[in-house]
């Protein structure tokens, strides 16, 4: 894609992600497609968009399985955080929308897919703070008296999961670490799913440095979670990590997995690797067999009986 000459001089470009122009505007090169909420013809899942903070436009796309309307049974809640290198994509992208319709229907869960502010216009840690705000908004329904009828009527605050892919996996981890320190505001977290998660390594990351002005390298535990001395405190009983053989982030996910096991963390963690696959292949090629297998394992994790501790 050629630069938009109407915007003037390009001052920084990250190929396949965005261009920053001298006038302060940003031209995104990926993840700009959107699809509306509504009733999905394949799964009969109903979705809608809800604004949480009108000042920042933090929002969620909510998904409700079709069985919910005919049952009084409370359903698990999945808080999902999309990827995109902290700087591209939204919950409204067709690939995420289709993926979460499938997960919602298969696992019979309510999904809250978080719309957080993107860097560089909103430098990190804004995205982390937005995701935490969205989590607390979900938690405001724990007593059945929150602002959203779907969560009041159908959500089970005792059976909550969080998940994210790529940069969204990093953000999901940080939401759980913040909840570990501050409490989960009435929600009982049963598990976390990280799909091809991004964490820092020992090389300088120019993109992170650009998107996160106060980033100070490996001493930043939000980016470099495997190095966090508090990792053993992670207040999450079960964790599922997906990695792919050909993913440039594979070693980052594996490092996180190994760090958890070495810290003395008390939970259960499983790592699943898909041979021959690349980064977020399940979103890019959802009909291939490995993608179908990944989604089924994701769904099976969400359907396991919650802990009673």
- Helix (H), strand (E) counts: the chain: 8, 11
Domain assignment present for 20: yes
Tell me, yes or no, whether 24 and 134 share the same domain. Answer: no
Does residue 169 belong to any structural domain of this protein? Answer: yes
Q: Among the options 165, 166, 173, 228, which is catalytic? A: 166
- 46 shares its domain with 90: yes
Paired with 259 in beta bridges are none
Query: Tens place of pLDDT for every residue, the chain, 309 residues?
Result: 556 656 689 999 999 999 999 999 999 999 999 999 999 999 999 999 999 999 999 999 999 999 898 888 999 999 999 999 999 999 999 999 999 999 999 999 999 999 999 999 999 999 999 999 999 999 999 999 999 999 999 999 999 999 999 999 999 999 999 999 999 999 999 999 999 999 999 988 999 999 999 999 999 999 999 999 999 999 999 999 999 999 999 999 999 999 999 999 999 999 999 999 999 999 999 999 999 999 999 999 999 976 544
Is 247 labeled as catalytic in the residue annotation?
A: yes
* Whether residues 254 and 206 fall in one domain: yes
Same domain, 84 and 206: yes
Catalytic residue, from 97, 173, 279, 282: name it: 279
164 and 178 both lie in a single domain = yes
**3 and 80 assigned to the same domain:** no
Output the CA torsion 137→241→231→122 (10° steps): -50
Give the pTM. 0.96
Q: Which of 130, 165, 228, 247 is catalytic?
A: 247
Looking at the structure, do residues 46 and 86 belong to the same domain, yes or no?
yes
SS3 254: helix
CATH number assigned to the domain comprising residue 110: 3.40.50.1820
Regarding whether 217 and 266 lie in a shared domain, the answer is yes
* The Cα angle at residue 68 between residues 63 and 72, in degrees rounded to 5: 140
Judge whether 308 lies within some domain. no
- Domain for residue 242, yes or no? yes
252 burial level (CB within 10 Å; 0-12, 13-18, 19+): buried
Q: Mark whether 196 and 172 lie in a shared domain.
A: yes
For 99, the token pair is 């993926």
Instruction: Give the total number of structural domains in the chain.
Output: 2
Q: Residue 231 is part of which domain span? A: 35-303
* 279 in active site: yes
């Amino acid at each position: 894609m050629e630069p938009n000459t109407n915007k003037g001089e390009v001052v920084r470009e990250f190929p396949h992600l965005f261009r920053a122009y001298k006038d302060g505007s940003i031209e995104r090169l990926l993840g700009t497609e959107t699809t509306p909420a509504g009733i999905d013809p394949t799964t009969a899942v109903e979705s809608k968009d809800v604004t949480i903070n009108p000042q920042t436009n933090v929002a969620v796309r909510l998904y409700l399985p079709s069985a919910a309307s005919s049952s009084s049974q409370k359903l698990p809640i999945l808080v999902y955080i999309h990827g995109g290198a902290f700087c591209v994509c939204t919950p409204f992208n067709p690939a995420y929308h289709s993926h979460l319709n499938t997960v919602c229907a298969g696992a019979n869960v309510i999904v809250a897919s978080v719309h957080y502010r993107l860097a560089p216009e909103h430098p990190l840690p804004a995205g982390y703070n937005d995701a935490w705000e969205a989590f607390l908004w979900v938690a405001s329904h724990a007593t059945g008296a929150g602002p959203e009828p779907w969560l009041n009527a159908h959500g089970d605050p005792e059976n909550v999961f969080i998940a994210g892919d790529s940069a969204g996996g990093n953000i999901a981890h940080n939401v759980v670490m913040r909840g570990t320190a501050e409490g989960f505001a009435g929600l009982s977290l049963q598990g976390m799913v990280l799909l091809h998660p991004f964490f820092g390594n020992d090389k300088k990351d120019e993109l992170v440095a650009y998107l996160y002005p106060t980033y100070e390298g490996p001493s930043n535990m939000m980016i470099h979670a495997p190095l966090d001395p508090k990792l053993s405190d992670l207040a999450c009983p079960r964790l599922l990590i997906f990695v792919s053989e050909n993913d440039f982030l594979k070693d980052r996910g594996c490092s996180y997995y190994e760090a958890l096991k070495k810290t003395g963390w008390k939970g259960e963690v499983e790592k699943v690797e898909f041979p021959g696959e690349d980064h977020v292949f399940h979103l890019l090629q959802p009909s291939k067999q490995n993608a179908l297998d990944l989604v089924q394992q994701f769904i099976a994790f969400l359907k396991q009986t919650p802990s009673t501790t």
